[in-house]
Amino acid sequence: MKRIYFNLGIAFVFSILFLTDAGAQEFRDLDASPHDIVYFRTNKISPPKIKVLYGRPKKNGREIFGNVIPFGKIWRVGANEATEVVFYNDVVFGETEVKAGTYVLYAIPDQNEWTLILSSNTDVWGTYEYEEKYDVARTTAKVSKAEFLEAFSIGFKDKGKHINMVLAWDTTRITAPIKIIL
C-alpha cells in the first residue's frame, strides 16, 4: 500500500512539472538588436585574423545619423554591449600600430567624416564607461553613400596588404583601414 501511495506521489509531482510552465524559459523579451559575429580570414580554411562581435539595430523608419545617433557624440558602433574587435595579430589601425588583443570600437559620427576609436576598456555596455584614457588608436574615415541596409552591418573587404572594415547602415558607409602585421 505504501508503494502505491509513493508511486502516485511521484506521478503527481512529475505531472505538475511537465504539464505546467514551471521552470520553462520565457522568451517574450527577445533582443530587438541581436548580436552578430563577422570574421576576416585570408582564405576559407585559414584561422581568423580579425573577429568583430556587435549588436545589429534596425532602422525601422527612423532617421539614424544626426538623430538617433547624434553627430559629434561618442557612439558604441552598434547596439547594446559595445562592439568588440579581436585582432589575432598585431595590426596597423589607421596610422597606429595596435598589439594583438581585444578592443572596443567606438565612433564619433559626423556628416562627412567619422572618428573611429579602439579602446582597451572591454566588456562594457554602450558608451557609459567610455574614457579617453583607454584609447589605443584613433583614425578618421570619410562618409560615403551606398545601397540601403535596414540592419546595421559590419564586413570586410580584402585589398591585398590592407583590409577595409566597413561599417554600414541605412545608406551610410564608413571604411576603417587595417593592415595586418605578420
pLDDT in tens, the chain (182 residues): 666 655 655 666 555 555 555 556 666 676 777 888 999 998 888 899 999 999 999 999 999 999 999 999 999 999 988 999 999 999 999 999 999 999 999 999 999 999 999 999 999 988 888 999 999 999 999 999 999 999 999 999 988 778 999 999 999 999 999 999 98
Under DSSP, the state recorded for 72 is: T
* Phi/psi at 98 (5° precision): -125, 130
In this structure, are strands 83-87 and 101-108 parallel, antiparallel, or unpaired? Answer: antiparallel
Q: 118: closest CA among 70, 60, 59, 176?
A: 176
Kindly state the cell numbers that stand for 168: 554600414
